[in-house]
Amino acid sequence: EIVLTQSPGTLSLSPGERATLSCRASESVFSYLAWYQQKPGQAPRLLIYGASNRATGVPDRFSGSGSGTDFTLTISRLEPEDFAVYYCQQFGSSPLYSFGQGTHLEIK
């Protein structure tokens, strides 16, 4: 069973700073890796798919990279609305779809 491990669990930064979030898979997921943003009381929002493709309407300060087992979501300059929980999600291995436990990005 593939396990996705996100780090750090909590990231405390200030607006304007750069955020780097990590997602590590226990075995290769190739490029079948997506990132989602979730704010309290809301459904997740797709940010990145295929490891590095921005979803429609996602600002270009969000970027994704990586392949195989190591992936990164970078937010180049944090805006106040970016503080949320971020999840990575893999496709294709048992289980067919699974998520990391999330990184909570909080205002410092």
Q: How far, in Å, CA of 71 to CA of 22, rounded?
A: 6
Interaction of residue 34 with another protein, rule CB under 8 A: yes
| String marking each residue 1-30 x if it binds another protein according to CB under 8 A | ------------------------------
Residue 45 as a binder of another protein (CB under 8 A): the answer is yes
Helix (H, G, I), strand (E, B) or coil at 103: strand
Query: Is residue 46 a contact point for another protein (CB under 8 A)?
Result: yes
**Angle subtended at Cα 77 by Cα 74 and Cα 78, rounded to the nearest 5 degrees:** 90
Q: What distance in Å separates the CA atoms of residue 104 and residue 108, rounded to the nearest whole number?
A: 12
User: What residue ranges bind another protein (CB under 8 A)?
Assistant: 32, 34, 36, 42-46, 49-50, 55-56, 87, 89, 91-92, 95-102
